[in-house]
Structure 1
Amino acid sequence: MGRHPNSLQVAMGADGVIASLAQQWRVAVPAAAAAGAGAYLLYSELAFWLRNRGKKLPPTYWEFGCLPIIGAAIPFLIDPLALARRAEAKCGDCFTLHIFGMRITFLDGPDAQENFCRARDDELSQKEAYKFSVPLFGNGIIYDAELEKRTEQIKLVTASLHTTALGNYVPKMLDELALYFGKLGDSEQLDIYESLSELIILTASNCLMGREIRQTLYKEVSSLYATLDKGCLPISFFAPYLPIPAHINRDIAREKMVKLFRGVIDKRKAEGTHEKDVLQVFMDAKYKNGNSLPAEEVTGLMIALLFAGQHTSSVTSSWTGLFILQAKEREKLLRDLLKEQAEAGPIDIDSIRNKMPLLTACVSEALRLHPPLIILMRRVQEDRPFKDMVIPKGDTVMLSPALSGRRPEVWTNPDEFDPYRWLAPREEHRGHSHAWVGFGGGRHRCIGENFAYVQIKAIWSYLLRNFDMQAVGPLPKPTYEALVVGPKPPCLVNLKRRGSKAVDC
Structure 2
Amino acid sequence: MPRLIAGRKPLVLVLGSLLFAVLVSLLLVFRGGRRSKSSPPVAATIPIIGGLLKFVKGPIIMLAEEYARLGSVFTVKVLTRNVTFLVGPEVSSHFFKAQEADMSQKEVYQFNVPTFGPGVVFDVDYSIRMEQFRFFTEALTVKRLKSYVDFMVEEAELFFSKWGESGEVDLKLEFEHLIILTASRCLLGQEVRNNLFEDVSSLFHELDNGMLPISVLFPYLPIPAHRRRDRARKDLAKIFTTIIRNRKVSGKLQPDMLQAFIDSKYRSLGRSTTEEECTGLLIAALFAGQHTSSITSTWTGAYLMSCKQYMPPVLAEQKAVMQRHGNKLNFDVLSEMDVLHRSMKEALRLHPPLILLLRYCHTDFSVTTREGKTYTIPKDHIVATSPAFANRLPYIYKDPNTFNPDRFAPGREEDTKAGPFSYISFGGGRHGCLGETFAYMQVKTIWSIVLRHFELELISPFPEVDWNAMVVGVKGKVMVRYKRRPLLVD
TM-score, scaled relative to structure 1: 0.85
Which residue in 2 is equivalent to 1:26? none
Which residue in 2 is equivalent to 1:86? 65
Which residue in 2 is equivalent to 1:302? 282
Kept after mapping to 2: 8 A contact 1:137/1:303: yes
Query: Given the superposition, is the C-alpha separation of residues 89 and 405 from structure 1 closer, same or farther in structure 2, using an over 3 Å criterion?
Result: same
Query: Given the superposition, is the C-alpha separation of residues 474 and 113 from structure 1 closer, same or farther in structure 2, using an over 3 Å criterion?
Result: farther
Kept after mapping to 2: 8 A contact 1:232/1:482: no
Q: Offset at 1:340?
A: 4.5
Residues 472-491 of structure 1: pairs in structure 2 closer than 5 A: 472-491=459-478
Task: Let me know the Cα RMSD of the aligned residues.
Answer: 1.8
Which residue in 2 is equivalent to 1:429? 415
User: 327, 350, 359: which is aligned to 2:340?
Assistant: 359
Residues 301-380 of structure 1: pairs in structure 2 closer than 5 A: 301-327=281-307, 329-343=309-323, 345=325, 346-353=328-335, 355-380=336-361
User: Could you tell me how far apart the structure 1 residues matched to 2:173 and 2:311 are?
Assistant: 26
Kept after mapping to 2: 8 A contact 1:324/1:333: no
Residues 46-61 of structure 1: pairs in structure 2 closer than 5 A: 56-61=38-43
Matched residue of 1:329: which SS? helix
Residues 140-289 of structure 1: pairs in structure 2 closer than 5 A: 140-288=119-267, 289=269
User: Which whole-Å deviations, capped at 9, do the CAs of 1:44-84 have from their partners, x for residues lacking one?
Assistant: xxxxxxxxxx982211112xxx5443322233134111111
User: Which whole-Å deviations, capped at 9, do the CAs of 1:304-329 have from their partners, x for residues lacking one?
Assistant: 00000101111111111111111152
Which residue in 2 is equivalent to 1:466? 453
Kept after mapping to 1: 8 A contact 2:314/2:339: no
Kept after mapping to 2: 8 A contact 1:78/1:480: no
The one-letter code of the counterpart of 2:277 is: E
More off after superposition, 139-148 vs 371-380 = 139-148
User: Could you tell me how far apart the structure 2 residues matched to 1:237 and 1:178 are?
Assistant: 39
User: Could you tell me how far apart the structure 2 residues matched to 1:276 and 1:488 are?
Assistant: 35
Matched residue of 1:106: which SS? strand
User: Could you tell me how far apart the structure 1 residues matched to 2:302 and 2:255 are?
Assistant: 34
The one-letter code of the counterpart of 1:224 is: L
Residues 1:101 and 2:83 aligned together: no
Moved over 4 A (4+): none
The one-letter code of the counterpart of 2:230 is: D
User: Could you tell me how far apart the structure 1 residues matched to 2:204 and 2:57 are?
Assistant: 25
User: Which whole-Å deviations, capped at 9, do the CAs of 1:162-202 have from their partners, x for residues lacking one?
Assistant: 11001101121111112211111111211111111111110
Which residue in 2 is equivalent to 1:133? 112
Kept after mapping to 2: 8 A contact 1:77/1:234: no
Kept after mapping to 1: 8 A contact 2:304/2:311: no
Matched residue of 1:85: which SS? helix
Query: Given the superposition, is the C-alpha separation of residues 396 and 343 from structure 1 closer, same or farther in structure 2, using an over 3 Å criterion?
Result: farther
Q: Offset at 1:440?
A: 0.6
User: Could you tell me how far apart the structure 2 residues matched to 1:190 and 1:389 are?
Assistant: 52
The one-letter code of the counterpart of 2:365 is: R
- Which blocks of at least 5 consecutive residues in structure 1 are unaligned? 1-53
Q: Offset at 1:418?
A: 0.6
Query: Given the superposition, is the C-alpha separation of residues 331 and 131 from structure 1 closer, same or farther in structure 2, using an over 3 Å criterion?
Result: closer
Which residue in 2 is equivalent to 1:451? 438
User: Could you tell me how far apart the structure 1 residues matched to 2:378 and 2:218 are?
Assistant: 23
Matched residue of 1:82: which SS? helix
User: Could you tell me how far apart the structure 2 residues matched to 1:342 and 1:82 are?
Assistant: 45
User: Could you tell me how far apart the structure 2 residues matched to 1:56 and 1:365 are?
Assistant: 37
User: Could you tell me how far apart the structure 1 residues matched to 2:420 and 2:264 are?
Assistant: 36
User: Could you tell me how far apart the structure 2 residues matched to 1:75 and 1:336 are?
Assistant: 46
Matched residue of 2:272: which SS? coil
User: Could you tell me how far apart the structure 1 residues matched to 2:436 and 2:314 are?
Assistant: 25
Kept after mapping to 2: 8 A contact 1:233/1:483: yes
Matched residue of 1:416: which SS? coil
Q: Offset at 1:341?
A: 4.1
The one-letter code of the counterpart of 2:364 is: D
User: Could you tell me how far apart the structure 2 residues matched to 1:167 and 1:316 are?
Assistant: 21
Which residue in 1 is equivalent to 2:12? none
Q: Offset at 1:330?
A: 4.1
Which residue in 2 is equivalent to 1:18? none
Kept after mapping to 2: 8 A contact 1:344/1:356: no
The one-letter code of the counterpart of 2:478 is: C
User: Which whole-Å deviations, capped at 9, do the CAs of 1:114-153 have from their partners, x for residues lacking one?
Assistant: 2321211111101112111111111221112111111110
User: Could you tell me how far apart the structure 1 residues matched to 2:249 and 2:94 are?
Assistant: 51
User: Could you tell me how far apart the structure 1 residues matched to 2:205 and 2:112 are?
Assistant: 16
User: 72, 75, 81: which is aligned to 2:51?
Assistant: 72
Matched residue of 1:389: which SS? strand
Q: Offset at 1:236?
A: 1.4
Q: What is the total number of aligned residue pairs between the two structures?
A: 445
Which residue in 1 is equivalent to 2:101? 122
Which residue in 2 is equivalent to 1:496? 483
Q: Offset at 1:232?
A: 1.1
Residues 1:403 and 2:389 aligned together: yes
User: Could you tell me how far apart the structure 2 residues matched to 1:137 and 1:240 are?
Assistant: 12
Q: Offset at 1:335?
A: 4.3
- Which blocks of at least 5 consecutive residues in structure 2 are unaligned? 1-35, 369-373
Q: Offset at 1:280?
A: 0.8
Q: Offset at 1:452?
A: 0.4
Kept after mapping to 1: 8 A contact 2:122/2:129: yes
Kept after mapping to 2: 8 A contact 1:233/1:481: no
Residues 1:417 and 2:396 aligned together: no
The one-letter code of the counterpart of 1:434 is: F
The one-letter code of the counterpart of 1:123 is: D
Q: Offset at 1:499?
A: 4.0
Q: Offset at 1:287?
A: 0.9
The one-letter code of the counterpart of 2:158 is: L
Which residue in 1 is equivalent to 2:10? none
Matched residue of 1:243: which SS? coil
